[in-house]
Structure 1
């Protein structure tokens, strides 16, 4: 199988001086990116349990990367695939998914509660209701999504041995939970840093329109392991664009929104941690699908994403619901927002529960 065994590369520039960088796991070297791993695993396990019959349709909500993985799984196991997305999907991604034989359906309006994400999931439910034999992997809540990343963790152990800090983007919560759980069996002192986007509800911020795709959420995925995180950072789109382009020019290793956000945070950890700290960042994809967004000057100018480099230090929050953040911000208090609303400071922005 062509999925797995992805390389790690050393990155210092543009974030640090030589010798103070981090290791990046290049999951973009999989055919479709990091989500090839859970897509194949979730479909294989569903078939083994009898939840997905031979030839039955796979249906799922996606912003793109999982869709590529499910297209691969559909071809490998002989299933038609229907994917539900929204107008924010990149034109290249839409065309690629169709080329791989998937049917792509697009929702037209976001939900008042849960945004585009919930609108997509509602369309998924309507498709499943019309086709009782169809199967939805439900990446947000399926524990197989988490279990799929055990091989990636073992690859990191074989490639690097000692790891002190793991930096992961958080969307469904699958790869941060799955990788860190296995690593901590061998490295109990591992610190896990989550990277989210401004406007995401995952870690207790209020929902807001989100430009970045592949990280963040308007719902609360059950796969997020809140207790595993030592801290969380929120990153704004312009900051991620700067990091993507700066890494591409300095090292040739880059990717999309998640890669830029993770690279920015991992670079900060590398230059501020004690000398000798071994930092690892997971880069979920490569740059190719983002030629119309992250690497498109016209798109970035229209969305006011081009300008000066981000601040050298993140802003700080004492509590994740203390205030709405609009730039790179760090918080070392990590709480499950659905279980901790009562703990929010008086007058703070409490999370809005979404239909997850």
Structure 2
């Protein structure tokens, strides 16, 4: 019998499906576009940021709804059947929203590093949590969560696993985000995207390049992430990066990739909050740092990015001096420009680094 931190004991322990609330789907999207001019860390011409943290369910509500509706259409998800997914938190909010809107109970496999406030918020939205207490020796927290997820699915016959890292519907969910951005801008030269599952970069770049064929795509990864060919290491930053290679990442679409460390991201988040009022978490800080750099080195270029969420989840981490000190993060010593490396496997990036050679690690591995 399966037990977990949320008290999931058996298939019958899952809450019955509540009635679908399809009217909630009308709340997705139509998020504002902000002009960002805060010094990051110095002056720059400015860039545009889509404020997905101000949307209901956050950025990943778009992907969550697309994955569940796609599964319903294919007959993979029966009406009222439970949905089980692994998450570090952000997709969990989106799935909780999608579960309410479409009418499915949601079970989320999380890990011990998930913030207490996020646990309470997910449970408040009706999700059941399974908490993994230790990372796997290979694959870290992600591998440990997937192993627990398989146990949960065994205990819940008929449960559907969206598999966000490899589900094409994840990418399809961001077509609306691309359409909104295209409608808000007259022109776009550079798009900067954080990369975790690979969903929103892949889902946006196709439609946007059909409108602006010369559009450049810059991927932003976390130090310690293996997505673009670096060695996998324990990562403090959540929301971007991965210990596995998601199939949703469209490597050929990227013109370059940057790896950003916690100091650079935290410094950018705090500067955004002080000077532009809008801010967010690790992904927001990382893309803001790179977008400001792109605007600075390409004068006259129109640069845009996506801020996936807001700052509230990170009040006890990014915005807490005790947390940053305990983890050896000094925002005042954050890098002001990236170090250039010739190839993703040439040197391990321990801080902000840039590479104009983008590889698919699974295709280039011996």
Q: Same fold (TM over 0.5)?
A: yes
Of residues 123, 126, 132 in structure 2, which corresponds to 1:98? Answer: 123
Root-mean-square deviation over aligned CA pairs: 1.2
**Structure 1 residue aligned with 2:105:** 80
Residue in structure 1 matched with residue 177 of structure 2 by the alignment: 152
Runs (4+) of structure 1 exceeding 4 A deviation are 16-19
315-324 vs 8-17, which moves further: 8-17
**Residue in 1 that maps onto 2:292:** 267
Residues 177-211 of structure 1 deviation map (CA, whole Å, 9 limit, x = unaligned) = 10011101111101000000000000000010000
**Residue 334 of structure 2 corresponds to which residue in structure 1?**
310
Q: Please give the alpha-carbon distance, in whole angstroms, between the structure 2 residues aligned to 1:340 and 1:195.
A: 20
Distance in 2 (alpha carbons) for counterparts of 1:131 and 1:208: 33
Task: Give the match's secondary structure for 2:176.
Answer: helix
Alpha carbons 1:71, 1:97 under 8 Å: kept: yes
1:43 is the counterpart of 2:68? yes
How many residue pairs get aligned? The number is: 341
Please, what TM-score do these two structures have when normalized by structure 1? 0.94
Counterpart position of 2:154: 129
| Counterpart-to-counterpart distance in 2, 1:305 and 1:311 | 12
TM-score (norm. length: structure 2):
0.91
- 1:301 and 2:325 matched: yes
Aligned to 2:232, what secondary structure does the other structure show? coil
- Tell me how far apart the structure 1 counterparts of residues 173 and 331 of structure 2 sit (CA, whole Å): 39
What is the rounded CA distance, in whole Å, between the counterparts of 1:19 and 1:264 in structure 2? Answer: 11
* Equivalent residue number for residue 136 of structure 2: 111
Post-superposition CA distance 1:279-319 (Å, at most 9, x none)? 00111111111111111111111111134242221001100
What is residue 350 of structure 1 aligned with on the other side? none
What SS does structure 2 have at the residue aligned with 1:308?
Answer: helix
Map 1:21-36 to 2 at 5 A: 21-36=46-61
Tell me if structure 2 keeps the 8 A contact 1:16–1:271. Answer: no
Query: 1 CA distance for matches of 2:333 and 2:291?
Result: 16
Q: Is the 8 A contact 2:223 2:260 kept in 1?
A: yes
Shift of 1:130: 2.2
Q: d(CA) in 2 for partners of 1:311 and 1:108? A: 33
What's the CA shift for 1:328? 0.3
